[in-house]
Chains A and B, each alone.
Chain A
Amino acid sequence: MLIDARNVVKAFGAFKAVDDASVSVEEGDILGLIGPNGAGKSTFFNCLTGDLPVTSGTVSFAGADVTRLPPEARAALGLARTFQVPLTFESMSVLDNAMIGALLRHPQARDARAKAREVLERVGLGPLIDTPARSLGTPGRKRLEIARALASEPKALLLDEAMAGLTPTEVRDAIELVKRVHGGGITIVIVEHIMEVIVSLASRVVVFHQGREIARGTPREVTSDPAVIEAYLGRRKVRHA
């Protein structure tokens, strides 16, 4: 088990955004977390990365209990992430953005720069290496966040709505990218709204509703589950990108 979250509860005052969620991810897996808006999947995601401390429950990563560790310590163990709204380092170039990730395993700037270049080439940002990051549009930023995370040479990559705000063509490109990253031996956890993404990427899916897990299984099993249709598909039109 690469990631193992047990009985995670996250409460904000009296409101339990995540109520007793247990999710585990095996090495080499692609796990999808889905659910309607406000289902608690993003909160749960942030409990995995350490951005939010859990109220109770445990999180372990690569065999180590990381429940009390801050995000930077989890990153050092090999847990990388992207953000729903990209948090690009605005004052830096594309290359320097990727270098921040690369410096984690390569303390010398020269080595980190080489690593950053290599990753940027791999994700298709090679031609934009010297561009200021603030001039990138949403797809570029999302891609840069993936590159930055990959440059830290993670074991697992957690994607928080990596496709939100992309056009259908861009979504297809991004799916290809995620598949390639996964092909490189990295475990993926992906929070996503767009059904097409989950169906074409995830091997297993966990469905959240009102802070609780209501279903799990393959994408096919989950999308035909009546409880899921009631909670999620029934109320929202499926977005076929």
Chain B
Amino acid sequence: MNRFLIPGALLALALVYPLLVQSLPVYERLGALVLLGAIGASAWNIVGGYAGQVSVGHAVFFGFGAYSSVVVYTHLGWPPIAGAPLGMALSVLLAAVIGVPTLRLSGHYFSMATIAVGELVRVLSSTSEFLGGAQGLGGPAIPRTVFDLSFLSAMPFYYIFLVVLSLLLLLTWIIERGRMGFYLRAIKDSERAARSLGVSAGRYKLYAYMLSGAFAALAGSLYLCMFGFVDPDSGFGILISVKMVVMAALGGAGQLFGPLVGALILVPLEELSNSLLGGQGAGLTFVVYGAIIVIIARFLPSGLLSLLNRRKVNRVD
């Protein structure tokens, strides 16, 4: 089966990657960050890419996940990862609350409304003492049990993220091939036509939004487990939302591997830029980073993966 050849090869490569770079912790960390970015962007992809509802407020869910994980530690003494299911469940509820009013909006209005909701939640979180206010909250400083997921190396995180990403992509693949996947793409192309064919567009958009929110929350929980700290900006900041959009769009939104491709390019670039930010010519690498995004948008508006499936379209009547 040719269809499984490329995903299989990718997975095999991903499995041995830490062995290839074992001597360099920097690359282990980088690998983990790429996967984490890909999880967030793949979550976004369900509603933003497949259904074409461009949310620029997914940080709300990411932040809910991260805060749920840290809150179960600070207030209940549980290991942070135990907050992940809580964050996912809360995000599904929250997605329903946000989605019902905003998903009626079309195009840019939906994007703007999600930005506003994201900012609203960010500001509220910075005023909440329960959430540690503007200072944020930290996870366990010293690991108590193995469930605290506090490791010296990034390698365990790498494999945890790899499992989560694989499951998420598998789920997305199943959706893509079933009725929901067809309906989401139809809604993206023309909501009016889809509804004329019996597609309950409102309901399917909401399902996609809730599912997407749940996995964005899981990304947030995993982030907290790895970094052990979250504040309003690193949890709910607009940059978190924008990065999910940009990664997915750069690789190819609405395509299974689009967000992963985007993460493979953007995360290393960003890490490199960050590591050089302190030194001479500070900021120059980010200028290049911006320029690369501009160039890709200019020449490959449908993302990098469009290079692969660029078929010549002839007019037939």
Which A positions have Cβ atoms within 8 angstroms of B?
49, 51, 70-72, 75-76, 80-81, 83, 87-92, 96, 99-101, 103-104, 107-109, 112, 128, 131-132, 134-137, 139-140, 148-149, 152
In this complex, which of B188, B197, B316, B317 has the most chain A Cβ atoms within 10 angstroms of its Cβ? B197
From B189, B195, B317, give the contact of A70 (CB < 8 A).
B195
**Does B101 belong to the interface (CB within 8 Å)?**
no
Residues of chain A within 8 A of B317, CB atoms compared: 136-137, 139-140
Decide if B198 touches A89 in the complex (CB within 8 Å): no
- Report yes or no: A89 in contact with B315, Cβ–Cβ below 8 A: no
Known contacts: A72-B201, A109-B177, A109-B178. The answer to whether A89 contacts B314 by CB under 8 A is no
The B171-192 residues at the A interface (CB cut-off 8 A) are: 177-179, 182-183, 185-186, 188-190, 192
- Docked CA distance A109–B180 (Å): 10
Tell me the bound Cα distance from A107 to B182 in angstroms.
Answer: 11
Chain B residues within 8 Å of A90, by CB? 189-190
Inter-subunit contact A87/B197 (CB<8 Å): no
- Check A137–B196 contact: CB distance below 8 A: no
> Which A residues are in CB contact (< 8 Å) with B182?
96, 99-100, 103, 109, 112
Point out the residue from B179, B185, B197, B201 that lies within 8 Å of A107, measured CB to CB: B179
Measured CB to CB, the nearest residue on chain B to A104 is B198
Binding site for A on B (CB under 8 A): 177-179, 182-183, 185-186, 188-190, 192-201, 254, 311, 313-317
A32–chain B nearest beta-carbon distance, Å: 21
Least CB distance, B130 to chain A, in whole angstroms: 41
Q: List 8 A-B contacts (CB under 8 A).
A: A72-B201, A76-B198, A83-B193, A91-B185, A100-B182, A108-B179, A131-B316, A135-B315
A-B pair number, CB within 8 angstroms: 95
CB-CB under 8 A from B313, the residues of chain A are 132, 134-135
Q: Tell me whether B314 and A49 are in contact (CB under 8 A).
A: no
Would B179 and A109 count as touching, CB distance under 8 A? yes
| Chain B residues within 8 Å of A148, by CB | 193, 197
What residues of chain A lie closer than 8 Å to B314, measured between beta carbons?
A: 135
Given contacts A107-B179, A109-B179, A140-B316, contact A89 B195 (CB under 8 A): no
Residue of A nearest to B178 (CB): A109
Best-surrounded residue of A70, A81, A103, A139 (most CB of chain B within 10 A)? A103
Known: A72-B195, A75-B195, A131-B316. A89 touches B185 (CB 8 A): yes
Q: Which interface residue of A90, A99, A100, A140 has the most chain B CB atoms within 10 A?
A: A100
Minimum Cβ distance to chain A for residue B205 (Å):
12
- Chain A residues near B190 (CB, 8 Å)? 87-90
User: Which chain B residues border A80 with CB–CB below 8 Å?
Assistant: 196-197
Shortest distance between the CB of A232 and any CB in chain B (Å)? 28
**Distance between Cα atoms of A139 and B197 in the complex (Å):** 20
Find chain B residues with CB under 8 A from A128 CB.
316
